Structure 1
Amino acid sequence: MTAWAHGLVQGVGFRWWTRSRALELGLAGWAMNLPDGRVEVVAEGSRADCRALLDQLGSSGTPGRVDRLTHRFSEARGGLSGFAER
């Protein structure tokens, strides 16, 4: 799954928070700040666990403020371990 969080999501602990939620779900991947102010989240694992992370990313419990969340599901490429803040 790749998701893009739009809003006040940089400089507020959003990537760290995302990493913690992803690790709790057993997902591999990363959360990365983009130059345009969004955060990109790439997560591999079961579709159910990716969906659970997506639900959390769109909740009111995130640091900062997520105004819009876009995403896409695709086949896992593999080769990822752990979950990084980039």
Structure 2
Amino acid sequence: MADDYEAALVRITGRVQGVSFRVWTRNEASRLGLAGWVRNEADGSVLALIAGPNTAISTMIERFWHGPPGASVSSVEKKPAALTQTPTRFRITG
């Protein structure tokens, strides 16, 4: 794995469910060349695992703050994630 590759677990809160946030995330992540997954959580947040080049991760974090039309993001919390297996694409898991 290259030195500039990382993985992050990101929790996005606010009005992020019911506004196509997961589809938007998959599309944006794919445009940036990121792999991983995104899902809705029972508490109303969206959780995403994003993996790829550091610069693409940083760009995606910035984009999370805006989200799709209709979203109102109140927080974006990023934590490092250890990968046992590197994802090859980006998918919606729930």
Q: TM-score, normalised by structure 2?
A: 0.81
For 1:76 and 1:27, the matched residues in 2 are separated by 14
For 2:85 and 2:34, the matched residues in 1 are separated by 11
CA-to-partner distance for each residue in 1:53-74, whole Å, 9 max, x for gaps? 0010013x53311111111134
For 2:22 and 2:81, the matched residues in 1 are separated by 22
Normalized per residue, the structure richer in strand is: 2
Checking the alignment, whether the CA contact within 8 Å between 2:17 and 2:46 is kept in structure 1 is yes
Displacement of 1:76:
4.2
1:30 maps to a residue whose letter is W
1:18 maps to a residue whose letter is T
Q: SS of 1:55's equivalent? A: helix
Matched, 1:62 2:68: yes
For 2:73 and 2:34, the matched residues in 1 are separated by 21
Q: How does 1:27-42 map to 2 (within 5 A)?
A: 27-42=34-49
Checking the alignment, whether the CA contact within 8 Å between 2:36 and 2:90 is kept in structure 1 is yes
For 1:75 and 1:30, the matched residues in 2 are separated by 14
2:53 maps to a residue whose letter is S
Q: SS of 1:78's equivalent? A: coil
1:82 to 78, 89, 92: 89
Displacement of 1:77:
3.8
Displacement of 1:75:
4.4
Checking the alignment, whether the CA contact within 8 Å between 2:36 and 2:48 is kept in structure 1 is yes
Checking the alignment, whether the CA contact within 8 Å between 1:56 and 1:62 is kept in structure 2 is no
What is the percent sequence identity of the aligned residues?
Answer: 31
Matched, 1:13 2:25: no
